Amino acid sequence: GGSREEHHRSWSEADRAGGTSCRHCQKPAESEAPIRIWTRQRTEHPEQGELLEAPSSSSCPLPDQSHPALRRASRFAQWAIHPTFNLKSLSCSLEVSKDSRTVTVSHRPQPYRWSCERFSTSQVLCSQALSSGKHYWEVDTRNCSHWAVGVASWEMSRDQVLGRTMDSCCVEWKGTSQLSAWHMVKETVLGSDRPGVVGIWLNLEEGKLAFYSVDNQEKLLYECTISASSPLYPAFWLYGLHPGNYLIIKQVKV
């Protein structure tokens, strides 16, 4: 029992430690078959650019982007895309800006309507389905202490986290001087240098995914081979309860 607000307030200590999970937004328990490696199909995907609901207003200030930082040209610029966050997948612990390119950890759980597509952990996918060709985008991580960025299929379980499923891959900054990559549910420690801006290069023609640090010069962080039989989506995880932390999908300079 209990009101909607009480449900939102009932975060467990484990959630506060890392998952930022909102119990109210979890999908009702049901029996599901295990996720297959890049193969499980769902009957429908969101249309590109579709905004399924507007987040409610709250006291959580979103960053002022009226004076963006100077940007450098990228050798991947001709394949640049500018994804927008899919609000139906947005966790109740997150908010997005009006242009749907900044995601922020909220100061309080948001009363978004329940959806089986919504993450119970502090994650969000973008609306753009990437099923063929070459794609590149950049994420500014400098204002987030714990994060992961990468790709996932739309079928990724909404109570799991990036990299810990067979249909997702990411690089992750733990906030404890460790950068890691997660692929096929395996962690690869990459070092202790923190990238401020991460470039993600997805070449579906060759089945390759690569992550770059693109702060001042381009540096390859991690590269892997993928075999995706269903579309992939840019994916984000802002973990730990740090209100005001945010990630920005940058405008790639041509």
Least confident span in 36-45, 95-104, 135-144, 206-215: 36-45
pLDDT digit string, tens, across residues 85-124: 999 999 999 999 999 999 999 999 999 999 999 999 999 9
Q: Would you state the pLDDT for residue 240?
A: 73
Q: What percent of the chain has pLDDT over 70?
A: 71
Residue 72 has pLDDT above 80, yes or no: no
Residue 11 has pLDDT above 90, yes or no: no
Residue 132 has pLDDT above 90, yes or no: yes
Q: Would you state the pLDDT for residue 70?
A: 53
pLDDT digit string, tens, across residues 175-194: 888 999 999 999 999 999 99
Q: Would you state the pLDDT for residue 216?
A: 86
Classify residue 224 as exposed, middle or buried by CB count within 10 Å of its CB (0-12, 13-18, 19+).
middle
pLDDT digit string, tens, across residues 194-227: 999 999 999 999 999 999 999 988 999 999 999 8
CA separation for the pair 129, 127 (Å, rounded): 6
Q: What percent of the chain has pLDDT over 90?
A: 65
Q: Would you state the pLDDT for residue 250?
A: 96
Render 19-50 in DSSP notation, one character per residue.
Answer: I---GGGSPPP---PPPPSS----S--PPTT-
Q: Would you state the pLDDT for residue 82?
A: 94
CA separation for the pair 188, 212 (Å, rounded): 15
The mean pLDDT of the chain is 80
